[in-house]
Chain A
């Protein structure tokens, strides 16, 4: 089954404790992205990657890091989480063969609470 998986699905942590949210897709997609979703603000892009070893900042990259060492994986790293990073996080992927304008597939989300 074609899918994007994220782990963990729920996480409660404390300020300053480094954490990683994993994202993996099995569709051989080139493009992967992280979003955060907050009430009234919709989906805001954190980072995206057009392919292995190619990453770029989205609209709200502060406090986050990413890496793309393998095509299927795109982990999101919070080196020193703060309460304002409490949010619902989504990973997504899409193919960019023959251009953009392709369906973006989303993972099930990770609800993060930083105390």
Chain B
């Protein structure tokens, strides 16, 4: 059973547009929600992360919106650029997870293409 569901699987956006990727989870014990960015030929790297005590976190053009009651969170990329073309993974974990401490549960990824 997939712990984190991510959509869409692929996304094509015009340069300057807004890219939106959505994720949903069921386990209410999750309390850390990172997004990872992966360029072709590279390993994923942390992009931005949020804890459930806030509803939004912004870093530059990247914003995470978090809806605790709906158990959903999303990544918004404002003014999308061709250099943002990559695969994006949402994830969730428990900061005090006992035997699963440190374990990240990933969504299946979204391949973003930004056309110039």
Contact = CB atoms under 8 A, between A and B. Distances in A.
Interface residues of B, number: 29
A33 B106 contact: no
Interface in A64-98: 90, 92, 94, 96
Given A33-B102, A103-B46, 9 more contacts: A30-B102, A31-B101, A41-B108, A45-B104, A50-B99, A100-B93, A100-B97, A100-B103, A104-B104
A107 B43 contact: yes
A96 B6 CA distance: 26
Contacts of B6: 42
- Which A-B residue pairs are the 5 nearest by beta carbons? A106-B43, A42-B108, A31-B102, A101-B32, A101-B95
A28 B21 CA distance: 33
A101 B107 contact: no
B42 interface: yes
Contacts of A106: 43-45
A56 B95 contact: no
Contact of A108 (B34, B43, B103): B43
B68 to A, nearest CB: 16
Interface of B: 6, 9, 31-32, 34, 36, 41-46, 49, 51, 89, 93-97, 99, 101-104, 106-109
A48 B103 contact: yes
A3 to B, nearest CB: 10
Contact of A43 (B45, B46, B97, B106): B106
Nearest to B102: A31
A42 B89 contact: yes
A94 B36 CA distance: 14
Contact of B9 (A4, A35, A40, A90): A40
A6 to B, nearest CB: 9
